[in-house]
């Protein structure tokens, strides 16, 4: 059974860099049918997609976060990571690492579809 586990600091100072790692166990990261990525959820609010990475290193980012976000993969150690620069209180959220299924949608476009595996989530608070 595939398992994802987030790790990283729970408190980050404003203007600094948020760094999280997702460890993947029970399966391969080199599947051609899946991306790996991050989703966050501010307290009491909805889900926000941050971005995704393929095992080759190709990335896709939320256009509204793209200037501050980097996602990279280390398949030899079965993990991938997230960095968010210049954080503010608005970046306070539970961060989830996820696996994203790639497939054709009903309109015939090939791309990321649903998220089928999630980590348990880790709360990151931005505060001085």
Partner 1 sequence: SYVLTQPPSASVAPGQTARITCGGNDIGSKSVHWYQQKPGQAPVLVVYDDSDRPSGIPERFSGSNSGNTATLTISRVEAGDEADYHCQVWDSSSDHVIFGGGTKLTVL
120 sits near partner 1 (criterion: CB under 8 A): yes
Q: Would you state the structure tokens that stand for residue 110, as one six-digit string? A: 């090939």
Closer to partner 1 by CB, 16 or 48: give it. Answer: 48
**Contacting partner 1 within 56-95 (CB under 8 A):** 60, 62-63
Which residues of the chain form beta strands (DSSP E)?
3-7, 11-12, 18-25, 34-41, 48-53, 59-61, 69-74, 79-84, 93-104, 110-118, 122-126
Does 38 engage in binding with partner 1 (CB under 8 A)?
Answer: no
- Give the residue, chosen from 22, 115, 124, 126, that forms a contact with partner 1 under the rule CB under 8 A: 115
Tell me the window of 17-25, 69-77, 78-86, 100-108 that interacts with partner 1 (CB under 8 A). Answer: 100-108
Q: How far is CA 113 from CA 7, 35, 42, in A?
A: 25, 10, 23
- Please, are residues 122 and 18 in contact by the beta-carbon 8 Å criterion? no
**36 contacts partner 1 (rule: CB under 8 A):** no
Q: Name the residues that contact partner 1, by CB under 8 A.
A: 46-49, 60, 62-63, 96, 101, 103, 105-107, 109, 111-116, 118-121
């Amino acid at each position: 059974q595939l398992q994802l586990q987030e790790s990283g600091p729970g408190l980050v100072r404003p203007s600094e860099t948020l760094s999280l790692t997702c460890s993947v166990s029970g399966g391969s990261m080199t599947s051609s049918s899946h991306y790996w990525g991050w989703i966050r959820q501010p307290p009491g609010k909805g889900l926000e997609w941050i971005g995704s990475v393929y095992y080759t290193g190709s990335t896709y980012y939320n256009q509204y976060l793209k200037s501050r976000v980097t996602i990279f993969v280390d398949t030899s150690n079965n993990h991938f990571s997230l960095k968010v620069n210049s954080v503010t209180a608005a970046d306070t959220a539970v961060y989830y690492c996820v696996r994203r299924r790639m497939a054709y949608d009903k309109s015939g476009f090939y791309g990321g579809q649903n998220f089928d595996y999630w980590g348990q989530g880790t709360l990151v608070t931005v505060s001085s």
